Amino acid sequence: MKDILAEIKQRASALNKTVVLPEGEDKRVVEAAANTVKEGVAKIVLLGNLDEIKSANPEVCLDGVTVIDPVTYAKTGEYAEMLFTLRQGKINKKTGAPEYATVEDAKNYILKDYTMYGALMLKAGDVDGMVSGACHSTANTLRPGLQVIKTAPGEKMVSAYFLMIAPPCGNKYCEDGCYIYADSGLVQNPTSEELAYIALSSAKSAEQVANITPRIAFISHSTKGSAKHADVTKVTDAVKLFHEIAPQYNADGELQFDAAIVPDVAKSKAPGSTVAGHANVMIFPDLDAGNSNYKNTERLGGFMAIGPICQGLAKPINDLSRGCHTEDIVAAVAITVLQTL
Ligand SMILES: CC(C)(COP(=O)(O)OP(=O)(O)OC[C@H]1O[C@@H](n2cnc3c(N)ncnc32)[C@H](O)[C@@H]1OP(=O)(O)O)[C@@H](O)C(=O)NCCC(=O)NCCS
C-alpha cells in the first residue's frame, strides 16, 4: 500500500516553500517547526519570542527555523497599515463599531492575534502559506484568512475538507488509500449551488493534494430516489448543477454512504453508476454530516484525519484540530505547500 503522507511530504520538499506557524507558545508547534525543517518539507517562520520559546522547549533544536517576534519585528507597522486599509469600512459585528478605527488599533490587534499577523505576512508575500489552530478554535483560525486573504479569483467560495488516510493495514473499501470528506469544517448549511462548488473545489483538491482521480459521491440519507424530502432535493439539485459546471469530473448522487463505497450495495441500490461502490470524494449535505462522518471514520475506522484543509482561498491557510499531534502539524504544512501550486 503506498504511503500517501510520505508522497505528499516528498512532493512538498521539492517546492522549497516557506510556511508561517503563528502559535510559538504551543510545544507541539515548536516541535513541528523543528521537524519540518529537519525533514526538509518546508522552510518555517515561527512567531513568538525566541528566548521564551527556547526556555519553554530546551530539548528542541531550532536550527534552521526563523523565529520572528511580532513585538519587535521591523515590518509590524507595515502589516498594521495593511490590515487597517484592507478592513476599512468594516463593522465589528459584536460592538457595531468599525473593526479598526486607526492604524494603532490594527497594530494593537495583531499583537494580540498572531493568526491575523501570520495572515498578513502571507498577504504581503513574505511567506507562502500558514498553518494554525493547535491552540485556537477553527472559527478564530479561519476568520483572518477569510477577511484578508479572501476567495481566489475564479472560485465561488472557501470551503474545507479532511484528507482521510487509511490505516497502514489498508481498508477493504478504500481503493486509493485515502478519501476526501467535504465540507467537514467550514460551511454550516450549504445550498445546492454551494454544494456543487464545494464538490468542484474538492475534485481539484483530490488531484492537487491527494494525487488521485476523483470519483465524487453526493451523500444523502437516500439513494437514487429511495426517500423523498427537501433535504434529498437539495442534494439532487446540487448533482445536476455540478454536471453542468464540471462535466469533466465523474460524479453521482444522491447516494447513501454504503452505496458510495461498497460495490455490492452499489450494484443493488445504484446499478449502472460509475461512482457508486468506488467513490473517493464524499460531499456531505451539511457540516453536521461532514464533521460527524470524519470523526466516525477517524475513531471507528482507524483512519488518519488531516484537516480541516481550506480550499478556494487565494493563498493557502490551514487549520489544525486542537487535539493534533506534532506529526499532524508537519503533514498540514506539507499539504499547505502543495496548495501553493
Ligand atoms: C469560518 C466562520 C468563522 C466564518 O464566519 P464568521 O466569523 O461569522 O464570519 P463572517 O460571516 O462575519 O465572515 C467574515 C468574512 O468571511 C467571509 N466568508 C465567510 N464564509 C465564507 C466562505 N465560505 N467563503 C468565502 N468567504 C467567506 C465573509 O464574506 C466575510 O467577509 P467580510 O468580513 O470581508 O465581509 C464560520 O463559517 C464558522 O464558524 N464555520 C464553522 C467552523 C466550525 O466550527 N467548524 C467545525 C470544527 S472543524
Is pLDDT of 2 > 80? no
Q: Is the CB of 142 under 6 A from ligand 1?
A: yes
Query: pLDDT tens across 175-214, in order?
Result: 999 999 999 999 999 999 999 999 999 999 999 999 999 9
| Ligand 1 mean position, distance from CA 146 (Å) | 6
Looking at the domain 4-150, which fold is it?
A: Rossmann fold (3.40.50)
Strand locations in 119-195 (E)? 129-132, 159-165, 178-182
Using CB atoms within 10 Å of the CB of residue 10, give its burial: 0 to 12 exposed, 13 to 18 middle, 19+ buried: middle
Alpha carbon distance 22, 9 (integer Å):
21
CATH 3.40.50.10750 holds for 159-304: yes
Position in ligand 1 atom list of the atom nearest CA 90: 33
Domain limits, the chain? 4-150, 159-304
Q: Is the CB of 245 under 6 A from ligand 1?
A: no
pLDDT for residue 264: 96
Query: pLDDT tens across 310-333, in order?
Result: 999 999 999 998 888 999 999 999
Q: Is the CB of 308 under 6 A from ligand 1?
A: yes
Q: Chain-wide mean pLDDT for the chain?
A: 96
pLDDT for residue 323: 86
Query: pLDDT tens across 24-33, in order?
Result: 999 999 999 9
Position in ligand 1 atom list of the atom nearest CA 139: 3
Evaluate whether 4-150 and 159-304 have a shared fold: yes
Using a pLDDT cut of 90, give the percent of the chain over it: 93
pTM score, whole prediction: 0.92
Query: pLDDT tens across 262-309, in order?
Result: 999 999 999 999 999 999 999 999 999 999 999 999 999 999 999 889
Query: pLDDT tens across 123-140, in order?
Result: 999 999 999 999 999 889
Probe ligand 1: pick from 143, 146, 292, max atoms within 8 Å of CB?
146
- Could you tell me the CA-to-CA distances from 172 to 114, 167, 264, 265, 278 in Å, in that order? 43, 11, 13, 14, 11
Dihedrals phi, psi of 77, to nearest 5 degrees: -60, -40
- Which is it for strands 159-165 and 178-182: parallel, antiparallel or unpaired? antiparallel
Is pLDDT of 6 > 80? yes
- Which is it for strands 178-182 and 66-68: parallel, antiparallel or unpaired? unpaired
Cell numbers placing 296:
466516525
Dihedrals phi, psi of 14, to nearest 5 degrees: -65, -15
Most confident of 1-10, 50-59, 88-97: 50-59
SS3 assignment, position 308: strand
1 pLDDT band, cuts 50/70/90, is low
pLDDT for residue 3: 86
Q: Is the CB of 157 under 6 A from ligand 1?
A: yes
Q: Is the CB of 138 under 6 A from ligand 1?
A: yes
pLDDT for residue 93: 87
Q: What is the per-residue burial (b if ≥16 Cβ within 10 Å, else e) of 157-192?
A: bbbbbbbbbbeeeebebbbbbbbbbbbbbbbeebeb
| Ligand 1 mean position, distance from CA 147 (Å) | 8
Q: Is the CB of 318 under 6 A from ligand 1?
A: no
Query: pLDDT tens across 146-174, in order?
Result: 999 999 998 999 999 999 999 999 999 99
Cα 83-86-87 angle, rounded to 5 deg: 85
Sign (positive or negative) of CA dihedral 134, 137, 142, 145: negative
Position in ligand 1 atom list of the atom nearest CA 151: 25
| Ligand 1 mean position, distance from CA 107 (Å) | 23
Average pLDDT over residues 227-244: 97
pLDDT for residue 327: 92
Average pLDDT over residues 3-15: 94
Is pLDDT of 232 > 70? yes
Nearest CA to ligand 1 atom 47: 185
Probe ligand 1: pick from 93, 141, 186, 189, max atoms within 8 Å of CB?
186
Q: Is the CB of 47 under 6 A from ligand 1?
A: no
Alpha carbon distance 99, 87 (integer Å):
7
Query: pLDDT tens across 70-127, in order?
Result: 999 999 999 999 999 999 999 998 899 999 999 999 999 999 999 999 999 999 999 9
Q: Is the CB of 129 under 6 A from ligand 1?
A: no
Q: Is the CB of 86 under 6 A from ligand 1?
A: no
- Could you tell me the CA-to-CA distances from 338 to 5, 195, 275, 321 in Å, in that order? 12, 24, 26, 20
